[in-house]
Amino acid sequence: MSTPKSVIESARKQGAKMVDVKFVDTFGTWQHFSVPMGELTEEVFAEGFGFDGSSIRGWKSIEASDMLAMPDPATAFIDPFMAVPTLSLTCTIAETGTKEAYNRDPRGIAQRGEKYLQSTKIADTAVFGPEAEFFIFDNVQFDSKSNGTFYSVDSEEAVWNTGRDEMPNLGYKIRHKEGYFPVAPNDTQQDIRTEMCLIMESLGIKIERQHHEVATAGQAEIDFRFDTLVKTADNMMLYKYVIKNVARKHGKTVTFMPKPLFGDNGSGMHTHQSLWSKGKPLFAGKEYAGLSQMALYYIGGILKHAKALCAICNPTTNSYKRLVPGYEAPVNLAYSARNRSAAIRIPTFSESPKAKRIEYRPPDPAANPYLCYTALLMAGLDGVINKIEPGEPLDKNIYELPPEELKKVPNVPSSLGEALDHLEKDHAFLLKGDVFTKDFIEMWISHKKKEHDALRLRPHPYEFFLYYDV
């Protein structure tokens, strides 16, 4: 177990000259500032680093902006992307004076979620395992002005480049929806994904596999080992940091945007989850698909609150361009063993009780992982506490159901605005144990409605194609 003393000693042995103080903002971006190594003392871990929080999106106003970044020694690593040896520490944010956790800090919300779980006596540990997808592009350009807007992405392996003059063009391009799993020379990114994996492993993230994903143009997935809620969210932030910086080193760019391409698959973040107590799994049993009754109630809670959850787990306007039928997107709010067209799947690769879990498929990697995983936990716990039945499983191919049957299956919201409307009406489950606060929910809805309106107010290029000559 890392302690302030052991972190300082280890950093000095590795020649660290600077300390990079990292924390996550409301909407899931890592922020940082740096101090010389001499400023890091054992006392700082208890006293925190002071900083101005007024410029962080969704945080303090300027007249009450002083905040404290409280370093967590368990998050220490030597940053592999900095020229000068630099110790990195992830922080939770606290108020000055009282040192109470700041109610809008996502990492603090996740920590309160874990404490709330323990207070219920239902379990002592929530385990999460995300599968985040992303695109590795060679070029991206975009602009938005009052008189015009555009975007353009490109990749050497994209199907639209079969006719490009590449001197020579060798023709090994990946057709739409055929990126799962061709070998080289079609898959051009094996080595870069491997480099990402090896750096993450050197930083303590246990990698399980990497591969090209379904879409053309460099869609990829790297999976890492499950862990506790806060630790998994910490790992997801480090995961994004490593992937983006390795790509930049190779002159490429990565996006976790859910739907950057029209006509091909988007990027999801299927999220595996289970509850444990005293080292024993609680989701294994003799009910449907080998689940326990607790697991079924947990599913019931998630399905009940799924539309509100989308406002947190699918928090961008672009998220709802992925959540449409026909691109493997889990738009149908049902559960099933093996069936990947349902929002909740029960994986059946292993019969071990320790492997028994549920996989919630709607989330995407634009979500702030601390908020996403905590909201899912709170919905699941609401199901367990109130014994919410999930209804009957849906083991048929949803996309082949006759219309009269399909009408009975509820869907995820069709837009961010609709999801926010559901969150406005259905968020009491998030407030239990003061995990999320009313203040946070109101701030989140307000900011996200502005994003929704910003897109709604702007003319779209395709509208010119449809309507210019009316």
Residues designated catalytic = 52, 131, 133, 213, 221, 270, 340, 359, 361
CB-CB contact of 359 with 347 (8 Å): yes
Tell me how far apart the alpha carbons of residues 76 and 7 are, in angstroms, rounded to a whole number: 7
Burial degree of 390 (CB within 10 A; 0-12, 13-18, 19+)? buried
| Residue 153, both tokens | 């992405």
- Look up tokens 């806060």; give the residue: 230
Q: How far apart are the first and last CA of the chain?
A: 68
Tell me how far apart the alpha carbons of residues 381 and 421 are, in angstroms, rounded to a whole number: 22
Tell me how far apart the alpha carbons of residues 344 and 173 are, in angstroms, rounded to a whole number: 33
Q: How far is CA 162 from the centre of its chain?
A: 33
Neighbours of 16 (CB within 10 A): 24
SS3 76: coil
Neighbours of 181 (CB within 10 A): 11
What values do phi and psi take at 335, rounded to 5? -130, 155
